[in-house]
Structure 1
Amino acid sequence: MKLLRKKRVLLLLFVSFVLVLFLNTNWMAWFYPIQYKNEIRAQSQSYEVDPFLIASIIRVETNFKTSKESRKGAIGLMQLMPDTANWIMEQAKIPHTSLDELKHEPDRNIQLGTWYLKNLSEQFDGNPIAMIAAYNAGPGKVNEWLKNGVWDGTFESIKDIPFGETRHYVQRVIYYYNQYVDIYDTF
């Protein structure tokens, strides 16, 4: 009988501890962590791009794992194509970075990716949905869809994006963006 009482007391203490831990922490952040916060914050401020959007794109592209390379050749955290990365460095007048450094250095990759997001935002008049689609499919394709009336660039018509990969990509980025905004008070 005493052993049973001790087990109940221990169980009650354990449940109480877990409950206190649960209520006093942002436990959802365990499931939706954001890595490289300082780098994202710095580039976000520098280029005036929403840090949660940057984090969402990184989450979808690489899940915060550096040194990733896609089958198509996109590299680093933000999965930049080498030609796009070279174009960004030229346009933004950012000192040239080797592709190997761009692949392995989170800060430089986030800098170039964030500059590109700012550029896409300007191209699409601040429309974040079109900007996300263009980050995946390219601005030429998205402009073509918009010009030809295939897609109107709105959240409500994401289902009309003609490329399944891009449609799914936009949905995933928006999902993570909403999760991050709900979970984290500030960046």
Structure 2
Amino acid sequence: MNQLKRKLIRKRILLPLFLVVLVLVLFNTRWLAWIYPIEFKNEIRAHASAYQVDPFLIASIIRVETNFQPSMESKKGALGVMQLMPDTAQWVMDKAHLNNVSMETVKHDADPNIEIGTWYLGNLMQQFGGNEIAVIAAYNAGPSKVKSWISSGQWDGTLEHAKDIPYGETRHYVQRVLYYYKQYTKLYDAF
């Protein structure tokens, strides 16, 4: 076969194949699950159910905090997949009576880290009357800071006025968590 014939055959095969792939990509968002995976599904599902927290919120926070990489430690000392500050982790372990969990397991084992982080999110949900936007901000900046912003009128706790969050890091954090939350709830029918 000559060169021209081979090019024609390739075009006849590759163009329709390309169009089929394009249609699948455009009309089926399931392929996006490769870009937005959720790891530790069993652990997230179990703790979300136990502490009445939206599993997609937990997954979104983990994605922003560590992209599902266990054994992470931040420059500020936050530990594990959910980036828990040691004082917060110890407070939760005491309050939730998690006597079988050590700080070493919080740092290296995703399951107790997710349990503590989820319990803490549930506690924040109670503190902020179920306001998920304020909860996300409090997970990043601390509940005392967020309460002071809301009580002083600096921020009203809503997404519409997230631009008023005094800390740029927390503003960006809220936006990123909500971005992943939207992606996850769009891609995954259920957890």
Say whether the fold is shared (TM-score over 0.5).
yes
Residue 15 of structure 1: CA displacement? 2.2
Deviations 1:86-112 (A, max 9, x none): 100100111242222111111110000
Is 1:184 the counterpart of 2:188 in the alignment? yes
Deviations 1:117-139 (A, max 9, x none): 00000000111011111101111
Residue 12 of structure 1: CA displacement? 4.0
Equivalence for 1:127? 131
Residue 186 of structure 1: CA displacement? 1.1
Query: Pairwise CA RMSD of aligned residues?
Result: 1.7
CA separation of 1:93/1:180 partners in 2, compared to 1, >3 Å: closer, same or farther? same
Equivalence for 2:5? 2
Q: How many residues are matched?
A: 187
Q: What 5-or-longer segments of structure 1 have no aligned partner?
A: none
- Paired residue type of 1:30: W
**Within 2, Cα distance between the matches of 1:159 and 1:24?**
34
The residue correspondences of 1:23-34 to structure 2 (distance < 5 A) are: 26-34=30-38
Q: Following TM superposition, where does structure 1 have runs of at least 4 consecutive aligned residues deviating by more than 3 angstroms?
A: 19-25
Deviations 1:141-187 (A, max 9, x none): 11111111111111111111111111111111111111111111111
**Within 2, Cα distance between the matches of 1:171 and 1:4?**
48
SS in 2 for 1:112: helix
TM-score between both structures, scaled by the size of structure 2: 0.91
**Within 2, Cα distance between the matches of 1:60 and 1:24?**
25
**Within 2, Cα distance between the matches of 1:110 and 1:183?**
22
- Paired residue type of 1:85: A
> Structure 1 vs Structure 2: percent identity of aligned residues?
61
Equivalence for 1:37? 41
TM-score between both structures, scaled by the size of structure 1: 0.93
